[in-house]
Amino acid sequence: MPDFAHLHLHTLYSLLDGAIRLPDLMKSCAETGMKSVAVTDHGNMFGVVNFYQEAKKHGIKPVIGFEAYVAGEKGMGDKSQRVGNHLVLLAQNDVGYRNLRYLSTKAFTDGFYYDPRVDKPLLKAHSEGLIALTACMAGAVPRAVRRGDMDEARREVRDLKAIFGDRLYLEIQSNALKEQLPVNHGICALASEEGLPLVATADSHYVKREDAKAHEVLMAIASGRTFDGPEPKRPSPGLSSLGITSCCSSVRGVGVMLGSSLGRTSRYVDDLRVPRRAAVPTRRFPVVHSTRTPVATTTRV
């Protein structure tokens, strides 16, 4: 699978969720012959400079992105309900990279409610140079498919198509979750109905199967859960090894031809130039009181 590139992947910068260290990621890319790889941390671009430098050092093409949280119809300023549908965004070129930075910043300064959120009007205004993937089962399209509401799924797909045009990819995922297979089938049906391309991802959160436990510990810290209390252990999300073989063989189960979609996105991405150091703004930022418990109660963004 020479063209394969992981396009949906969480590092340690997906705070208390991703368990992938950048040096381990680069080692895995070298071992599997992956020539490009994306990092799509949850809601932030904190790791971009390190990722870019590590990738360049190892001769791997970095695809820069993040997994956005998209607020609902009431917009990113609304705090009456917690809506944050996942959507993977990848920078296709320098304009896209600038838009990514803008969207991530606005999500923290104007859209923070549980998570840093954007909304569809903001995406529409800053979609140039960005590729969008419909994300995991916490994305609006897969979520509707999982409920069996194909009309709503179709509406969401058309909304996203109006924003991203031919840079929208419907995402099917390889993981051990039993709910994923019917979702993959529904998404394949939508792709064929709407004439949109598919892309297969692993939504990787750790490098090797044996790292699953470490990932589970991170999740437990994030949710304030202990391993020896009366509360039953939440099963590991089962996503996530970087194994290309398992990813491809599992996704083949949906019976679609993926040869042209796997890796295609990475060939459509320009080489970007990222500064050696992160730009630190000089303006004062507001103090945001985090609504997430029990971790930090106050966060300065």
Q: Which residues bind Zn ion (CB under 5 A)?
A: 67, 86, 135-136, 138, 203
CB of 203 to Zn ion, least distance (A): 4
Helices marked H in the chain: 22-32, 48-57, 94-109, 120-125, 140-147, 150-164, 180-194, 212-223, 244-252, 264-267
Nearer to Zn ion, 135 or 247 (CB): 135
CB of 19 to Zn ion, least distance (A): 13
d(CA 254, CA 192): 13
Residue (of 39, 94, 106) closest to 66 by Cα position: 39
CB of 298 to Zn ion, least distance (A): 26
Half-sphere exposure of 157 (CA within 13 A, CB side): 28
Nearer to Zn ion, 67 or 115 (CB): 67
CB of 206 to Zn ion, least distance (A): 12
Nearer to Zn ion, 8 or 120 (CB): 8
**CB of 295 closer than 8 Å to CB of 37:** no
Nearer to Zn ion, 54 or 115 (CB): 115
CB of 300 to Zn ion, least distance (A): 26
Residue 201: strand pairing partners: 173
Rounded alpha-carbon distances, angstroms, from residue 88 to 66, 99, 109, 196, 235: 6, 14, 20, 16, 24
d(CA 145, CA 132): 18
Nearer to Zn ion, 16 or 95 (CB): 16
CB of 275 to Zn ion, least distance (A): 26
